[in-house]
Amino acid sequence: MTNERVYIETYGCQMNFADSEVVGSILTGAGYGLAGGVEEADFVLINTCAIRDNAEQRVRHRVRELRALQNRRRGLRIGILGCMAERLQSRLMEEEDNLSFVCGPDAYRRLPELLAQVRGGQKAAEVELSATETYADIEPVRLASNGISAYISIMRGCQNYCAYCVVPYTRGRERSRDPQTVVDEARSLFERGYREVTLLGQNVNSYRCGDTGFPELMERVAQIDPRLRVRFATSHPKDLGDRLLEVMARHANICRCIHLPVQSGSDRMLKLMNRKYTVEWYLDRVESIRRHLPGCSITTDVIAGFCTETEEDHQATLELFRRVRYDYAYMFKYSLREGTYAARHMADDIDEAEKTRRLNEIIALQGQIALENNQHEVGREYEVLVEGESHRSKERLFGRNSQNKVIVFDRGDAVAGTYRRVKVESCTAATLLGTLTD
Ligand code: SAH
Ligand code: SF4
Ligand code: F3S
């Protein structure tokens, strides 16, 4: 036992946030307390992302910033978890010499031993990947939770090997978690008052455990209670089948929002990226979503300036955006990642200024589309899960509709964690403004 405290800081994707909650559970189970901030912590654990160079630079900047705190508090130890730990391993401790340990995403059960070694004055690295670890038996501590919505990790790893992507190297082989443990975790959350769960995986559509595929798993979670909203991320277009859409259509509590990363609107780029679908296939999936689930929101990820991308390829991406009319998009410049197929076999030949120009064009177009989509929402009424106070005003609350759009409204008698009906009165590109109607 120890009375020392850990503070976990998280960067990167939703899966990292879910992992931090597993780490929190492992360490509190080993007797550590959770600190409210770095100031009160004996150990700061930074859960990191390696997806693009700027994600890594942010973390390195943070590690250097924490040095000042270490100078004031000699006992403070800092360690790196997650994808940067896996990618860079003990090299990272040589480059950033105020780090005491690195621990990769499949090694979190060993953290208590690792911290013990560090307390004994050693540096420690644990970066072994696993073909089987899913942390299925660990009940995560809900670290940043509002008590209303929670993430549930249903699988780990990825072996799609998209040419640009580091995830297969940082997260290891794909493996699915036992479905009963997923259902039990969702039920337990519902019983504790949670009203929304998001099932997470790099490609949830390839979830499989025995006879249970993703549509079956979704159906089981949706059946827990109609008052429990179920979301999921991320879908890979190559694997998004109609069976899932049919299950969604049968259950109103499975949210009408599908994140379907396209990456590029050019078949030539998609082939070079090893995405294993064409634009035609992608548009067929979009059409099928719209047929099965009228009013379903579709969001995406896109990369500007991947290797050899021409102006024509770029124009094809813009054209695809005009056709699909996404409600939201995460838009990135291509960032070379060491060890990936693209880094080994292709030249990063689009210069930075050109990448920026293309990205800005996509951002401008998408901003316009999002605004127009929101303008169409004015006059519609939605069921909203109330989440809390609006950041701008205490007199207003915000919630989300099934499509995952944020709606801000005058608070009236509404309380967080309940469902209310809200009519949309006006909008910006990012937010809908409405009034309670029930
Ligand atoms: N598993 C998800 C995405 C995970 S990473 C999927 O397959 O869609 C999130 C997003 O980061 C990706 O969709 C991609 O758009 C972007 N991304 C990944 N590697 C990148 C790189 N090297 N440079 C720029 N963006 C990248
Ligand atoms: Fe990366 Fe592709 Fe796997 Fe997504 S599906 S995590 S982009 S390799
Ligand atoms: Fe980043 Fe790792 Fe997620 S690289 S996007 S934290 S899987």
Alpha carbon of residue 288 to chain centroid: 24
Q: Is the CB of 161 under 6 A from ligand 2?
A: yes
Shortest-distance ligand to the CA of residue 332: 1
Task: Write down the pTM of the prediction.
Answer: 0.96
Gap from CA of 68 to ligand 3 centroid (Å): 27
Measured CA to CA in angstroms, residue 70 lies from 26, 48, 54, 63 at distances of 25, 20, 25, 10
- CB atoms closer than 10 angstroms to residue 31: 11
Gap from CA of 331 to ligand 1 centroid (Å): 9
Shortest-distance ligand to the CA of residue 302: 1
Gap from CA of 261 to ligand 2 centroid (Å): 10
Domain boundaries, the chain: 5-126, 381-436
Average pLDDT, consecutive stretches of 10 residues, N- to C-terminus, the chain (438 residues)? 89 97 98 96 98 98 97 95 98 97 98 96 96 96 91 97 98 98 98 97 97 98 98 98 98 98 98 98 98 98 98 98 98 98 98 98 98 97 97 93 97 96 95 96
Closest to 199 (Cα-Cα) out of 171, 228, 226: 228
Q: Where are the alpha helices (DSSP H) in 104-213?
A: 111-119, 167-171, 179-191
- The pLDDT, as a whole number, for residue 1 is 55
Residue with the smallest CA separation from ligand 3 atom 6 is 49
**CATH of 5-126 given 3.40.50.300, 3.20.20.70, 3.30.1490.190, 3.40.50.12160:** 3.40.50.12160
Closest to 201 (Cα-Cα) out of 229, 163, 241, 160: 160
Gap from CA of 38 to ligand 1 centroid (Å): 30
Shortest-distance ligand to the CA of residue 19: 3
Q: Is the CB of 258 under 6 A from ligand 1?
A: no
Which residues 6+ apart lie within 8 Å of 198 measured at CB?
14, 149, 150, 151, 152, 230, 231, 232, 233
Where is 434: in which H helix or E strand?
A: strand 432-436
Structural contact between residues 66 and 59, judged by C-beta atoms closer than 8 angstroms: no
Q: Is the CB of 263 under 6 A from ligand 1?
A: yes
User: Which amino acid type is present at position 424?
Assistant: V
Closest to 322 (Cα-Cα) out of 361, 275, 267: 361
> What dotted CATH number matches 381-436?
2.40.50
Structural contact between residues 256 and 222, judged by C-beta atoms closer than 8 angstroms: no
Residue with the smallest CA separation from ligand 2 atom 2 is 162
Gap from CA of 210 to ligand 1 centroid (Å): 29
The whole-angstrom separation of Cα 51 and Cα 139 is 27
The dihedral through the CA atoms of 180, 182, 187, 192 has a sign that is positive
Alpha carbons within 13 angstroms on the beta-carbon side of residue 416 total 14
- CB atoms closer than 10 angstroms to residue 123: 17
